[in-house]
Structure 1
Amino acid sequence: MPLSMPDGHQPRYTDFEIAGISDETMREGGERALYGAEDGQKLQLIEALTEGGLRDIDLGSGLTEPRFLLRCLHAQHMLGRIPEDTQFVFNLTLKTWEPLSEALKIIPRDYLAKIQVSLGMVEHRQEEKLLERAHDHLTSLGVGSFRASILNAFSHEIDDKQYAFINEQVARVRALGIDLVRVNDSIGTLFPEATAVLAANLVRDNPDITFYLHSHDDRGLGLANSLASIFHGFQMVEGGVAGFGNRAGLANLEVMSQIFTERGISVAGTELDTEKLSRAASLAEEVFMVLPNVYRPVSGMLVRNENAGIVNVPDYLGVSRPVDYFLNPIGTFPTTVAQALDNAGFPERLTGDREFITAVADRLTDHMENVLYPAKRERFEELLRQVHEFYTDIVRLDAVQDAALDVLQERASDQVPAT
């Protein structure tokens, strides 16, 4: 039976505060990076994220990441390069917790007491109490606090059975003293109306738990679902700058920051800076070697460009916004040329001379069509070829077999007796 909205539920859309934003740029950006990333650049990106106001940074979940986490903690507590109130979260799942907990031993106990470990896939091997065993072991290592992550394959609605499963897992983590729970839209199929119902019910039934949504953008609804979750009661939100995340990504944090400003939504203990988050988004593309999305909302390189020759509805409506105007052959109207010259201070005898204005427009059009376009088309086709070539050398699963055969061959060579 589908879950319904609780009786008397009142959403909130403006002028409220949430407890925090969890940044997934580093963890899921690193997981998605086809060719990895260099630790020095990753640290610069973390600094850029914190300059933009983010204070909850999720790292992990690879075997090399504890060493990078140690570097970050040194930068924070010894060098002062990262604000002291920044919370580092190390993310591990119950399928990989044993080697990762071993790798975490590189971090001194006084540092482990400062971080938080996110335990994912809490339902894995539930009958063996694996969650409880992993929690106890990590506590014995000195980990200071925990949050939990519940996986889900949502569809267009939440049914009673699925909701009961989530609450069952919430009860398990509550018994361990964990009060921060991430609900995962693991395959990106959740819809905002279902998110609203889920959030309202979970908050009503678990007032002692702080919830946030891990909302993938596979259907283009990552940001919409994230906003729906806090509109209907979730106390935190999550995403990545430039929408970084696995597959199609997660909620875009610089867009979210802009919406928060417009809606009067604040984040406890910090202040978001949309411009700095936008710069961090561009840096993330460099760090993880992702081609810039030039028309990405808020932070795209060209997103503020408007065709000066076309009647732009925002201009017509008198909406004030930062705009960089350009011309192309479609927009090169004589009236546009005349207006541009008038704005530049040309005398009326020229701006009112139709023959003169037409000659200027024709010259511009000729340059764009016969000089600029052919050159840019040739350059674009070369860039496109290079892009396809760049993204061909991806390490696929067949490489595991090839590496295994290489190792076996080397071992065989080592065992050949000397003559």
Structure 2
Amino acid sequence: MTVWPYALLGLPLTMAALPIYVLAPDYFGRELGLDIAGVGVVLFAGRLFDAALDPWLGGRMERLRERGLHKQGMAVAAAVLALAFCALWQPPLRLGGSGMLAWLAGCLFLTCVAHSTVYLAYLSWGSRISPLPAVQLRASAAREAAGVAGVLLASLLPTWLWRQLGPAPGMAAFGGLFVLGLALGLGALLGGAAPWQAAATNAPLRWRVLWQSAALRPLLLPYFLNALAVAFPSTLALFYIADQLQAAGWAGAMLGIYFLGAVLGLPLWQRLAQRMGVLQAWRVGMLLAVACFVSTVFLGAGDIGPYALICLTAGMALGADLCLPPVLVAQYTPAGLPLTAVYGVFQTLGKLALATSGLALPLLAALGYQPGRVGQSGQWALLLSYALLPCLCKLAAWLTSAPLLANEAGTVKEVSA
């Protein structure tokens, strides 16, 4: 069974996600001159509200699938996503600082809700594209490979377009490319992918039932901690490159190398998961990420070569975070729980992590950090938030995932089938 008609939508979806989580703080804080504390609060509030809606959105998409209307629902959400994403980067300058923050908040909310609606349905579709775990793993790996290709585009294109056209026109051009990719990816999914197979049950998701699940409950904390470890450097990467490495012009290239490493790592993690189990492979990826990333605290101005090597190897570790957790969630979800809504819960955890990372901006401002004007206290605050804190979160995720190993042995043979 070919999985690429399903996988292609991953490219535009991540092409939109990276600017929202990585470029928005720098674009609104540095390029448009808004107060970074205010930008951080808006990002935190928007992500928090969006995260709270995810289980509900997952349940609504599950209902649409039961009625055979999931394709129409995804198409409507994709249209809203296209409009809101393009509007996000074009705030009317006449609104002033507070008005542009309000514009950011409204467009961010619509973009995130529409993106979540499409993405939750997309994840569940892949987990029900076949009853065979091996096919599900191939679909997940192909989806994330396409997604990382979208991330590469989102890493390189905006900064290049900014230099060629200016920030606002450059993001307008990038938005047009995103809309084209979204239309093509959604067309391939709705017209050519294997059907979204029905679940064994139509029972609604109840938080009490989810929490009482001996299989899923132990996955919640390591999933959140790992997401937190990824979220902090994602929010602060451009500030670190510009102010710690004094290499703002290399930002796009460094992000590109990082996500290229993720592409290169995906086949490795797929083979490793088939050999030793999905959970064990994920835990290996966590340790590799810590080993690579901790050394960023020792880098300084001009250390482009060492940082590029760290980006490549840490990106390879990121491949495990991209393709393995969705498969774990599908494997650990008991019969009787709707998978789309379960994915909504885990998406909520990921977005809570992103929301928490947004608080790093007002915290850094309180500790004396301002973009382009870094004193000693601000520099150490940036290093702590960007380098050391993510490593501690990764190690905590590795430790708290250990109880899941008792359930892993029974799934290794299934994934290898």
TM-score, normalising length: structure 1: 0.21
Kindly indicate whether structure 1 or structure 2 has the higher relative contact order, using CA contacts under 8 Å at least 6 residues apart.
Answer: 2
The structure with the greater share of residues assigned to helix is: 2
User: Rg bigger for which structure?
Assistant: 1
Higher strand share: 1
